[in-house]
Structure 1
Amino acid sequence: MDGLNEYRQIRVADMLADFRSLQYYIAAAPVDPDNMEDYYTEGWAALRQCAIDGQHILNCAADTSVPNARGGREEQEKAELQQVLLDAFARRHEGQKIYLRQEAAQRWVERRALILNGGRPRSENRSALKACDQQLRAELATITDQNVYGDLLDSDIALGRWTTEDPSLRSVLRWLAARRSA
């Protein structure tokens, strides 16, 4: 008995609240362009993939298998809270990653609209549109699990949250891989 279950409960609640907020933003992002000729462009394809990924992370089942802990009720509660924390933490991590990809794609939509200025792609704006696509790819490439994990940890520390027992990035990636293959 270590007396930290209250902190664990608060940490789980924080993760669930963060994930809920992320899901709201993910669900609110556009997925279809005004002009359907743009449907298969890079940014709109990225936005649709983010919506699919967001729905998947919301719908995938929680891992409720918790080993029986020795030491009584508090130790069992600790084990259960640590399992729930991993689930909530990994969902928040993936949600943040999806949200950042959506933001990059939405910036692409705005840049593209400025380039097109109400018109359609033509030879005069082809190089600017190509540069816009390249910028999107570059931004998406920076949204790595390592960067997301570090940014979320920095944010949690800045908010004064208890991070002592946060799952490792490796644990988060294992959790995510198990949900993708399920």
Structure 2
Amino acid sequence: MSDGLNEYRTARVAELLADFRTLQYHIAAAPCNPPNMDDYYTEGWAALRQCALDGQHILNCAADVTVPSAAGGPDEQAKAELKQVHLDAYARRHEGQKIYLRQAAAQRWIEWRDQILAGGRPHPGNQAQLRAVDQQLRDELAAITDEFVYADLQASDMSMGRWTAEDPSLRAVQRWLRSRRR
């Protein structure tokens, strides 16, 4: 017998996919190459290029459509399929948010670096400041963990009054992500 929650499951998947789509737009819109190609291999620009690659990868990786046959008829089969799609959408949104936060950190790095350089180029007089913003970027990127992203998205969903009763665990999300690594 059906539990009557497939409507909620469907709505939740739609929310997650809409969130992921929005994240993809932001990820795709971020710059990847510096105006001055001498800066191409600097930490922030390298991070932005990696984010663009990661964003393309999470968009292109195939969905896991293997759903075991569920006993109990079509409603139970729909439930099983929705749960599988829910995990896929949730994990994609999670990874998209992680990429987006990494991009935002790299873009802040660009702003800080531009302020230090003030239209000039790196020189011995600004090396200490540039090293400090490089370290700030490394610290920010290190803070963007799966645990942080998961808790942040969970808090956001709850504050918006979204149905989260069957959201996958962090471990399930991490398993999904590992299964899609290159």
Q: TM-score, normalised by structure 2?
A: 0.99
Deviation track 1:44-76 (CA, whole Å, cap 9, x = no partner) reads 000000000000000000000000000111000
1:150 Cα deviation from its structure 2 partner = 0.3
The CA distance in 2 between the partners of 1:165 and 1:75, in whole Å, is 15
Deviation track 1:22-51 (CA, whole Å, cap 9, x = no partner) reads 000000000000000000000000000000
The CA distance in 1 between the partners of 2:58 and 2:109, in whole Å, is 24
Q: Which residue of 2 aligns with 1:107?
A: 108
Q: Which residue of 1 aligns with 2:135?
A: 134
1:132 Cα deviation from its structure 2 partner = 0.5
Q: Which residue of 1 aligns with 2:62?
A: 61
Q: Which runs of 5+ in 1 are unaligned?
A: none
Q: Which residue of 2 aligns with 1:17?
A: 18
Structure 1 stretches of at least 4 aligned residues deviating more than 2 Å after TM superposition: none
The CA distance in 1 between the partners of 2:28 and 2:10, in whole Å, is 27
Q: Which residue of 1 aligns with 2:149?
A: 148
Q: Which residue of 2 aligns with 1:82?
A: 83
Q: Which residue of 1 aligns with 2:174?
A: 173
Q: Which residue of 2 aligns with 1:44?
A: 45
The CA distance in 2 between the partners of 1:159 and 1:75, in whole Å, is 28
1:159 Cα deviation from its structure 2 partner = 0.4
1:170 Cα deviation from its structure 2 partner = 0.3
The CA distance in 2 between the partners of 1:158 and 1:110, in whole Å, is 31
| SS of aligned partner of 1:61 | coil
Structure 1 vs Structure 2 CA RMSD: 0.4
1:7 Cα deviation from its structure 2 partner = 0.2
Q: TM-score, normalised by structure 1?
A: 0.99
**Count of aligned residue pairs for this structure pair:** 181
Q: Which residue of 2 aligns with 1:93?
A: 94
